[in-house]
Amino acid sequence: MTQQAIANKVTVVALVENEPGVLNRVASLFRRRAFNIDSLTVGRTHKPDVSRMTIRVDAGSEYARKIANNLQKLVNVIDVRVIDNEPHIERDLALIKVRSDDAHSRNTLTEICDRYPARIVDVGPHVAIIEMVGTEVFVEKFIDEVRPIGIVEMIRTGVVSMGRGTRIHDTSVTRRDLARAIVQASSARNGRKS
């Protein structure tokens, strides 16, 4: 992939309620509206009730805004933000299994890994597994260099990102906190235990 093509990519970050079916709702929305996305990752946050989705879109900011506006309509989506030109950190992780059955390939591999934030995490008589973490562009570059040695298997997590500085993208209260608080408050008022 060219760097130009990657530069056209925009990231949509969504904080979602960590409830069954939320991923289904998001996937259903993308399919229904025929939104084309590049990658989607979901992971936990420091709050047990909140998950965070990072969605990469390959069609510019306007398209990303459309997606964001639709995501925002989902009740379980707490907050959505489009990250295009604001400063941010992004990371993609790749596990790459490459041929390493001769000295030459092993040497080349070690040499390439030295120049990248990449580690050889498993070595066998025939293949090795490398872990590479970096920006999407950087991971692409690394893969391009490793490819001639002979990639036999690969998985990438997809990009996750976070805005720099003090603009915090977070939610202070979650739904379940509140629902619980209300029940407790009303039972206290009624003098009953729930």
Partner 1 sequence: MRLTGSEIIMECLLREGVHVMFGYPGGAILPTYDAMAKYDDRLHHVLVRHEQGASHMADGYARATGEVGVCIATSGPGATNLVTGLATAMMDSSPIVAITGQVPIPAIGSDAFQETDVTGVTLPITKHNYLVTDVDDLAYTMKEAFHIARTGRPGPVLVDVPKDVQNAVTEFIYPEGPIFLPGYDPPAAADTYQIDAALRLIDQAERPIILAGHGIIMSGAMQEVRELAERAQIPVALTLLGKGALPEDHPLVIGMMGMHGEASSNLAIQEADLLIALGMRFDDRVTGNLKTYAVNARKIHIDIDRSEINKNVRADVGIAGDLKTVLKQLLPKLERKSHPDWIHQIRDWLEDSSERDILNYETPGRLLTAQVINDIWRLTGGDAITVTDVGQHQMLEAQYYPHQRPSTLLTSGGLGTMGFGFPAAIGAKFGVPDEEIWAIVGDGGFQMTLCELATARQENVNVNIAIINNHFLGMVRQWQELFFEKRYQATPMVNPDFCKLADAYGIPNRRVTQRDEIEAAVAYARGIDGPTLIEFVVEKEEMVYPMVPAGADLHDMKRRPKPGES
Q: How far apart are CA 135 and CA 159, in angstroms?
A: 8
**CB closer to partner 1 out of 30 and 138:** 30
Given the rule CB under 8 A, which of 84-92, 103-111, 159-167, 172-180 is the region that contacts partner 1? 172-180
The residues in 19-48 that bind partner 1, with binding defined as CB under 8 A, are 21, 24-25, 28, 32
Q: How far is the CB of 163 from partner 1 (least distance, A)?
A: 20
Q: How far is the CB of 29 from partner 1 (least distance, A)?
A: 8
Check binding of 78 to partner 1 (CB under 8 A): yes
* Closest among 101, 104, 92, 99 to 131, alpha carbons compared: 92
**CB closer to partner 1 out of 79 and 145:** 79
**CB closer to partner 1 out of 155 and 182:** 182
Q: How far is the CB of 7 from partner 1 (least distance, A)?
A: 23
**Binding letters toward partner 1, positions 92-131, x by CB under 8 A:** ----------------------------------------
Distances in Å between the Cα of 12 and the Cα atoms of 9, 20, 61, 65 are: 10, 21, 9, 8
Q: The tokens of 43 are what? A: 């992971």
> Are the C-beta atoms of 67 and 35 separated by less than 8 Å?
yes
Torsion sign across C-alpha atoms 99, 105, 107, 109: negative
DSSP 2: -
Applying CB under 8 A, the site for partner 1 has a residue count of 32
> Are the C-beta atoms of 13 and 54 separated by less than 8 Å?
yes
* Closest among 122, 115, 117, 133 to 98, alpha carbons compared: 122
Q: How far apart are CA 40 and CA 24, in angstroms?
A: 12
Check binding of 70 to partner 1 (CB under 8 A): yes
- List residues near partner 1 by CB under 8 A: 16-17, 21, 24-25, 28, 32, 62, 66, 69-70, 72-79, 171, 173-175, 178-179, 182-183, 186-187, 190, 192, 194
